[in-house]
Amino acid sequence: MFEGNGAELVIRLLERQGVKRIPGIPGGANLPLYDALGASRQIRHILARHEQGAGFMAQGMARTTGAPAVFFATSGPGATNTLTAIADAKLDSVPIICITGQVPSSLIGTDAFQEVDIYGMSLPVTKHNFLVRSVDELVHVIPEAFRIASSGRPGPVLVDIPKDVQTARVSLRELPEPAQPDPVEAPDAQAISQAAQMIGQASRPILMLGGGVAASGASAAARALAEAASLPSTMSLLGLGILPDAHPLNLGMLGMHGTRAANILLEECDLLIVAGARLDDRATGRLERFCPAARLIHMDIDQSELDKLKVAHLGITGDVGASLAALLPLVGANGKENDRAAWLARVAECKAANPHTFPGLDNPLTPYGLVRVTGELLGQDAIVVTDVGQHQMRAAQAYPDLKPRAWLTSGGLGTMGFGLPTAIGAALANPARPVVCFSGDGSLQMNIQELATAAELGVNVTVVLADNGGLGLVQQQQDLFYGRRIFGSDYRVRIDFVKIAEGFGVRALDLNESRDPMADLERALKREGPCLVRVPVQAEDNVYPMVPPGAANIDMIGGETCTEKGGN
């Protein structure tokens, strides 16, 4: 039995879905929702300072737990501010639900105050969206939003609710059961056995693991298959951490800033098995020259990813964890799996000739050292978040033993400003775990207002800021591909980030001014509450190796002897 208004019904349905926290910002068109939220004993509201921040906080919750996370915004500018966080979630397949207030139905289409067509604007960046036209629809739309966000390939859903729908009275005899993700069909048995055969016949196979493996909780299945079928394995940016760093079959990341070994060996492979990755151009380089000698097995839960960029010799639609698990008993019996000595020797030789080492790893005042030392000080339990830029690539390259669901980075959209609010969301959903956010001065400035949210909540987030006074990755491209003409990418005002953070009520220190940087960094990482650690770095220090945009992965620049390049 339910008796109340539309807003109260929404909150009740969200409670029944198990929602515990909703970041957001109130405004004229969603005040009925806020009034109802204020009365909830189960859901805590997190007041963000910008709606994009609220969206990324929801992402931090969803990326670490796998469960859909909800955030609120009002109509007009509140709604448009959410779009970047929603687009980011679409490209990285993150289940978030954005609930916006809309002007009253009678005013829709009249250019009313704070009216925008957020339904139309969010259409290309959501998995699905709703404009709720009557209070009777709410009881279906809210559970449906959860079902869609979490079923199959996860993604963002937007629900736009006009103010009069929020205030309309509604009475229901009973409320629907909370929505669950749809069950996934088992992968096609014939395709699986064909895949096993192809793996058995391959002489030089490589397994490529993407974010879909992490999202489906299939790391163990991926590792078991790699080991059973002797498959050297590479990972996309979002797949990092599926295999431990030191695993002999681990080739590291592929692509633009991947390992030399992975990019070289992919050129030589005769079978590529792609699991839960969509062959983004940053991963593949020039597509015609990606794995030129290989047959392709592509496994994905989203059938439209198969044959989208590269036609697969065999496509397998289904949950990638189920596909990997179904393959496991079929490999290693009578194929060449036991006869891969030559390929594995070649892999070992290539890895030895192209070591994955970086300068200054033991010194927290260097761009790679701040990543590595932070990881060593934090240990296995930490959640690692990045912004976008050189620091992001260095974290991907040098952070020790990343873990699925504890490695949060903006892969597809590459959104500067992702880091801080996502870290806050991750900390809220995982209060017992330390959260580190690697950021740059360019990225941090894009959502720096959320330091106030972090201070208010007292979350365990340490921002490790690599401050180079500019847009480092842009400068790197200008340096390498635009005749060294550094233009529009250096900041002329040097910001005192320590003072800024302290102004927001966040403890901060400049590691460069520390007498014992190692001890001070450790203290900053292990103290309760938010903290900012600034480390000055040089913008001239490029990230290597690098595949020039549009070039083949094999044509990477630098990184041959990483130990002699770059660093302070």
Partner 1 sequence: MGANGIGTNGFMALRLTVNNHPGVMSHVCGLFARRAFNVEGILVTPQQGGDTSRIWLVVHADDRLGQMIRQVRKLHDVLEVLAFEADQSALSRMDECMAGWEQAGPCAEAGM
- 303 or 477: whose CB is closer to partner 1? 303
Distance, CA of 222 to CA of 331 (rounded, Å): 13
Closest-CA residue to 366 (of 541, 223, 117, 494): 541
Q: For residues 133 and 169, which CB has a smaller minimum distance to partner 1 in the complex?
A: 133
Q: How far is the CB of 303 from partner 1 (least distance, A)?
A: 5
Q: Which CB sits closer to partner 1, 131 or 435?
A: 131
Residue 189 in tokens: 């048995």
Query: What amino acid is encoded at 237 in this protein?
Result: L
Instruction: State the nearest-atom distance from the C-beta of 197 to partner 1, in Å.
Output: 22
Distance in Å, CB of 528 to partner 1, minimum: 44
**C-beta closer to partner 1: residue 91 or 426:** 91
Q: How far is the CB of 29 from partner 1 (least distance, A)?
A: 19
To 5 degrees, how large is the angle CA 506–CA 19–CA 459?
Answer: 15
**Residue count (the chain):** 568
Pick the closer one to partner 1 by CB: 72 or 119.
Answer: 119
Point out which span in 69-77, 93-101, 118-126, 479-487 binds partner 1 (CB under 8 A).
118-126
Q: Which is nearer to partner 1, 182 or 555 (CB)?
A: 182
Q: What is the size of the binding site for partner 1 (CB under 8 A)?
A: 15
- Which one of 129, 284, 323, 514 is in contact with partner 1 (CB under 8 A)? 129
Instruction: For the segment 295-324, give every residue that binds partner 1 (CB under 8 A).
Output: 302-304, 306-308
Task: For residue 109, state whether it binds partner 1 (rule: CB under 8 A).
Answer: no
CB 127, min distance to partner 1, A: 8
In whole angstroms, the minimum distance from the beta carbon of 131 to partner 1 comes to 6
In single-letter form, the type of residue at position 210 comes to: G
Q: Which of 18, 42, 109, 123 binds partner 1 (CB under 8 A)?
A: 123
Nearer residue to partner 1 within complex by CB, 151 or 386: 151
Q: Alpha helices of 132-280 — where are they, by DSSP H?
A: 138-150, 163-167, 189-201, 211-215, 219-228, 260-268
Tell me if 396 sits within 8 A of 367, measured CB to CB: no
Scanning 273-389, the segments in alpha helix (DSSP H) are 281-284, 320-327, 341-353, 367-378
Q: Which of residues 167-206 bind partner 1 (CB under 8 A)?
A: none
Interface with partner 1 (CB under 8 A), residue from 119, 146, 358, 399: 119
- Segment contacting partner 1 (CB under 8 A): 64-72, 80-88, 119-127, 236-244? 119-127
Strand spans (E) along 376-500: 383-386, 407-408, 435-440, 461-467
Which of 120, 176, 329, 550 binds partner 1 (CB under 8 A)? It is 120
Closer residue to partner 1 in complex, CB, 109/292:
109
Q: How far is the CB of 119 from partner 1 (least distance, A)?
A: 6
Closest CA to 257 of 434, 71, 393: 393
Q: Is 124 a binder of partner 1 (CB under 8 A)?
A: yes
CA separation (Å) from 61 to 157, 331, 338, 427?
15, 37, 43, 8
Rounded to whole angstroms, the Cα distance separating 407 from 70 reads 21
Question: Of 94 and 306, which has the nearer Cβ to partner 1?
Answer: 306
In angstroms, what CA-CA distances link 559 with 32, 209, 389, 546, 555? 57, 23, 18, 8, 12
Residue of the chain from 131, 202, 229, 406 that contacts partner 1 (CB under 8 A): 131
Q: Taking the alpha carbons of 315, 317, 323, 326 in that order, is the dihedral positive or negative? A: negative
Kindly state the smallest distance separating residue 490's Cβ from partner 1, in Å. Answer: 35
Among residues 185 and 555, whose Cβ is nearest to partner 1? 185
Exposed, middle or buried by CB within 10 Å (0-12, 13-18, 19+), for 189? exposed
| CA–CA separation, 100 and 119 (whole Å) | 10
Sort 507 into a burial class: Cβ within 10 Å, 0-12 / 13-18 / 19+. middle
The CA radius of gyration of the chain, in Å to the nearest whole number, is: 24
CB of 123 to partner 1, least distance (A): 5
Which stretches of 50-209 are assigned E, i.e. beta strand? 69-73, 96-102, 128-131, 157-162, 169-172, 205-209
Q: Is 148 in the site for partner 1 (CB under 8 A)?
A: yes
Smallest distance, partner 1 to C-beta of residue 307, A: 6
Q: How far is CA 119 from the centre of its chain?
A: 25
C-alpha angle 216/291/294, rounded to 5°? 90
Q: How far apart are the first and last CA of the chain?
A: 67
Part of the chain binding partner 1 (CB under 8 A), chosen from 123-131, 162-170, 319-327, 554-562: 123-131
User: Would you give the binding string for partner 1 spanning residues 261-300, x where CB under 8 A is met?
Assistant: ----------------------------------------
Nearest residue (CB) to partner 1, 129 versus 542 = 129
90 vs 223, beta carbon nearer partner 1: 90
Q: How far is the CB of 128 from partner 1 (least distance, A)?
A: 5
Contacts with partner 1, residue ranges (CB under 8 A): 119-120, 123-124, 128-129, 131, 133, 148, 302-304, 306-308
